[in-house]
A and B are shown apart, each in its own frame.
Chain A
Amino acid sequence: MKGKALFLMRLRGILVKETLQILRDPSSIALAIVMPMILLFLFGYGVTLDADHIPTALVDDDGSAVAKELTARFDLSPNFELLPTRTMVEAEELIKNREAHAIIRLQSDFTARLLSGREASVQLIVNGIDANRARLIQGYARAALANWSSMRLARGETAGLPAVIVSQRVWFNESTESRDFMVPGLITLIMTLIGILLTALVVAREWERGTMEAMLVTPLRRIEILIGKILPYYILGMLGMGMSVVVAILVFQVPFRGSVAALILFSSLFMLASLGFGLLLSAAIRIQFVAAQVSIVAGFLPAFFLSGLIFDLESTPLPIQVISHIVPARYFVDISHTLFMAGDIWSILVPDGLVLAGMAVFFISLAYRNITKRLEK
Chain B
Amino acid sequence: MSNSSPIAPHHAEGAKADIVLMVEALSKCFPGKKTPEIQALDNVSFTVSRNQVTGLVGADGAGKTTLIRIAAGLLVPTSGSVTVLGLDSATDTLEIQSRVGYMPQKFGLYQDLTVAENMTLYADLQGVPSKERTDKFRRLLQMTDLGAYTGRRAGALSGGMKQKLGLACALIKSPEILLLDEPTVGVDPVSRRELWKIVNELVEKDGIGVLVSTAYLDEAEKCDQVVVLHEGKVLAEGTPKEFMRPMAGQVLLIDASPGKKARNIYTRLSGMDDIVDVTIRSGRVRTVLAENADKNALAESLGAATIHQANPTFEDAFMALIPRSAQHHQPSPSTFLHPGHDQEEIVRTHELQKMFGTFEAVKKLSFSVKRGEIFGLLGPNGAGKSTTFRMLCGLLPASAGEISVAGHDLRRARAKARARLGYMAQQFSLYGQLTTRENLSFFGKAYGLSGKLLKTRMEWAFDEFSLARWANRPAGGLPGGNKQRLAMAVALLHEPDILFLDEPTSGVDPFARREFWLRINTFAEQGTTVVVTTHFMEEAEYCDRMLIMSQGDTLAFGTPAEIRELAKTSGNPQPTMDDAFIALAEGKVNMAQSAPAPPYREDTLP
Contacts and interface: CB of A to CB of B under 8 A. Distances in A.
B127 A214 contact: no
B98 A219 contact: yes
A14 B125 CA distance: 8
Interface in A207-246: 209-211, 213-221
A348 interface: no
A59 to B, nearest CB: 58
B102 A214 contact: yes
B113 A13 contact: no
A166 interface: no
A253 interface: no
B226 interface: no
A21 B110 contact: yes
A375 B69 contact: yes
Contact of A10 (B107, B108, B124): B124
What is the size category of the interface that chain B forms with chain A? 35 or more
Interface string B110-125: 1111000100111111
A236 to B, nearest CB: 15
B121 A17 contact: yes
Interface in A257-304: none
A274 B120 CA distance: 31
Interface in B104-156: 104-113, 117, 120-127, 153
B74 A13 contact: no
Interface in B338-369: none
B125 A16 contact: no
B110 to A, nearest CB: 6
B76 A217 contact: no
A215 B108 contact: yes
B33 to A, nearest CB: 13
B106 A209 contact: yes
Interface string A336-365: 000000000000000000000000000000
Given A6-B127, A13-B124, A219-B127, A373 B73 contact: yes
A155 interface: no
Contacts of B105: 210
A25 B94 contact: no
A216 B102 CA distance: 10
A21 B113 CA distance: 7
Nearest to A206: B110
A214 B98 CA distance: 13
B127 A9 contact: yes
A21 B112 contact: yes
Contacts of B122: 13, 218
Contacts of B69: 375
B75 interface: yes
A218 B97 contact: yes
Nearest to A224: B125
B98 A376 contact: no
A131 interface: no
Most buried by A among B73, B106, B124, B126: B124
B121 A217 contact: no
A262 B98 CA distance: 44
B93 interface: yes
Contacts of A213: 74, 104, 106, 108
Given A9-B124, A9-B127, A210 B108 contact: yes
B217 interface: no
B94 A209 contact: no
A376 B77 CA distance: 11
Given A210-B107, A214-B104, A374 B73 contact: yes
A211 B103 CA distance: 10
B78 to A, nearest CB: 11
B125 A13 contact: yes
Contacts of A17: 110, 113, 117, 121
Contacts of A318: none
Contacts of A373: 73-74, 93
A225 to B, nearest CB: 11
Contact of B73 (A6, A9, A214, A217): A217
A209 B106 CA distance: 7
Contact of A20 (B98, B100, B113, B126): B113
Nearest to B69: A375
Contact of B75 (A10, A209, A219, A375): A375
B583 to A, nearest CB: 33
A219 B126 contact: yes
B64 to A, nearest CB: 15
| Chain A facing B: main interface SS | helix
A214 B165 CA distance: 13
Contacts of A220: 125
A369 interface: no
A24 B74 contact: no
Interface in A293-329: none
A86 interface: no
Interface string B65-76: 000010011111
Given A17-B121, A20-B117, A10 B93 contact: no
Contact of B97 (A14, A16, A219): A219
Nearest to A8: B124
A12 interface: yes
A308 B100 CA distance: 54
Nearest to B95: A219
Contacts of B499: none
Interface in A1-40: 6, 9-10, 12-14, 16-17, 20-21, 24-25
B171 interface: no
Nearest to B110: A211
Contacts of B62: none
Given A210-B106, A214-B102, A374-B75, A20 B112 contact: yes
A140 B274 CA distance: 95
Most buried by B among A213, A214, A375, A376: A214
B109 to A, nearest CB: 7
B500 to A, nearest CB: 29
Contacts of A216: 74
Contacts of B108: 210-211, 213-215
A374 B76 CA distance: 8
Nearest to A21: B112
Contacts of A6: 127
Nearest to B74: A375
Contacts of A12: 124
Contacts of A376: 75-76
Contacts of B125: 10, 13-14, 215, 218-220
Contacts of A9: 124, 127
Contacts of A219: 94, 97-98, 125-127
A227 to B, nearest CB: 14
Contacts of B117: 16-17, 20
B169 interface: yes
B29 to A, nearest CB: 11
A6 B97 CA distance: 14
A375 B76 CA distance: 9
Interface in A124-182: none
Contacts of B102: 214, 217
A214 B112 contact: no
A286 to B, nearest CB: 13
A306 B314 CA distance: 66
Contacts of B166: 214
B104 A374 contact: no
Nearest to B126: A218
17 contacts: A6-B127, A13-B120, A13-B124, A14-B125, A17-B121, A20-B113, A21-B110, A24-B112, A25-B112, A213-B104, A214-B108, A214-B166, A218-B122, A219-B98, A374-B73, A374-B76, A375-B74
Interface of A: 6, 9-10, 12-14, 16-17, 20-21, 24-25, 209-211, 213-221, 373-376
Can you list the 10 inter-chain pairs with the closest CB atoms, starting with the nearest? Answer: A214-B108, A13-B124, A210-B106, A218-B125, A219-B98, A217-B102, A24-B112, A213-B104, A6-B127, A375-B74
Given A9-B127, A217-B102, 6 more contacts: A10-B127, A17-B117, A214-B103, A214-B109, A221-B94, A374-B75
